[in-house]
Amino acid sequence: MKNLRVAIFTGNYAHIRDGVSLTLNRLVSHLESQNIPVLIFGPSCEYPALRPKGEFLQIPSVALPGRAEYRVSLYMPATYEDRLSEFNPSVIHIATPDLLGMWALRFAKKHNVRVVSSYHTHFPNYLKYYKLDALEPTLWRYLKWFYGSCDRLFVPSQSMLDTLREKGVKRGLEIWSRGVDTDRFSPEHRSDEWRTGNGIGPDDVVVLFLSRLVWEKDLGTVIDVGNKLLQKHDNVKIMIGGEGPARKEMQRRLPGAIFTGFVGGIDLYRVYANSDLFFFPSETETFGNVTLEALSSGIPAVVARAVGSSSIVKDGENGFLVEPGNVAGFEACLAELITNGASRREMSVKARNWAMNYKWEKVMDKLVSDYMALLEDRE
């Protein structure tokens, strides 16, 4: 690995604590543990949501209008370009096809550096939540060009890979899955004392939704299904984990739910393990890290039949798949498991066993091997 030097360009590394930033920070930690030099470029942020790993160069950025939690990199400072040239990367890894990603792609082509990208966010599915559906064909044309210009495109699931192929993105597709820390996200954190302390009775069934609270996670379906379950089942508790700009409106429209706010560390592991069902109707995920964390915690998952989720939830085995936006369908599947404790417990065991296939070290080692294979192709 002596010739491997990786420069990572991303639209999110420290300013939001989400699946993208956590995955990339974990990747950097893994590379450094293997003594592989790595340099990271991403948007500046005054108040980081997490402590960034590695040498992180913050690109001047501005908040996205109307969504201050998102930031857009503006330009590459000359001093940073000099630092990149000095670093002399053998692989440039672009995690976001934004302005910074375009700059990185041009740099790679100009300097004859191998360039790869990874698909973290299914942006085309976001458009409808902002009434921008008409832009979808244009966005796909851009993505087809951008990813077609890369030597490899790493996608997190087979279902996501199939979707990209259908849309005409075909060059260099490889699966780079996601992992989970099965020791931390574990049923071992379940505790009667914790449940009692949080107002959960011994016969209560906790239905958990956990995510950043933004409307593109299909919070409307969460609200509608949550209210129906609370009206029909006296023993149901709806728990909403996470923080975001939609929280106040969700609390107004789903007043019977328990809102935990942001949870991290041991509190996060306990929230998962002390729930009974995981409910995640979002169709904008490329993989679904939170769903895998729930499965690892022994929690059956009822999720949208969409890219990402459909690769890790096996319908009728460790959870159920429901057509996106089908409120009645989600309610019926959740109700089946709420009222049938035996099925719920059987799925819980299968959920945990399935998650054991997704060890982070194995996932990261595969990506490093793919980097090396790319360099060897050139030799």
**Which fold, 187-355?**
Rossmann fold (3.40.50)
Which pLDDT tens digit goes with each residue over 62-80? Answer: 987 777 777 889 999 999 9
Angle at 351 between CA 217 and CA 310, to 5 degrees: 45
What does the pLDDT read at residue 93? 98
What does the pLDDT read at residue 271? 98
- Please report which confidence band the pLDDT of residue 121 belongs to, taking 50, 70 and 90 as the band edges: confident
What does the pLDDT read at residue 159? 85
**188-212 mean pLDDT:** 95
- Please report which confidence band the pLDDT of residue 1 belongs to, taking 50, 70 and 90 as the band edges: low
What does the pLDDT read at residue 63? 85
Residue 379 has pLDDT above 60, yes or no: no
- Please report which confidence band the pLDDT of residue 17 belongs to, taking 50, 70 and 90 as the band edges: confident
Residue 350 has pLDDT above 70, yes or no: yes
Residue 309 has pLDDT above 90, yes or no: no
> In this structure, are residues 93 and 9 in contact, taking their beta carbons and an 8 Å threshold?
yes
CA distance 107 to 41: 13
**Which fold, 6-179+359-378?**
Rossmann fold (3.40.50)
Two domains, one topology: 6-179+359-378 and 187-355: yes
What share of the chain in percent tops pLDDT 90? Answer: 81
CA dist 128 to 164, 316, 345, Å? 18, 30, 37
Q: Is 317 helix (H, G, I), strand (E, B) or coil?
A: coil
Which pLDDT tens digit goes with each residue over 78-99? Answer: 999 999 999 999 999 999 999 9
What's the mean pLDDT when you consider all of the chain? 93
**299-317 mean pLDDT:** 91
Q: Element (H or E) spanning 42, and its range?
A: strand 38-43
Of 223, 351, 215, 328, residue with least CA distance to 275:
351
Which pLDDT tens digit goes with each residue over 36-53? Answer: 999 999 999 888 889 999
Residue spans per domain, the chain = 6-179+359-378, 187-355
What does the pLDDT read at residue 378? 65
CA dist 40 to 52, 70, 269, Å? 10, 18, 29
Burial classification of residue 329, based on how many CB atoms lie within 10 Å of its CB (0-12 exposed, 13-18 middle, 19 or more buried): buried
- Please report which confidence band the pLDDT of residue 359 belongs to, taking 50, 70 and 90 as the band edges: confident
Spatial neighbors of 14 by CB under 8 A, at least 6 apart, are 21, 42, 45, 48, 49, 50, 51, 52, 56
Q: What is the pTM of this model?
A: 0.80
**225-237 mean pLDDT:** 98
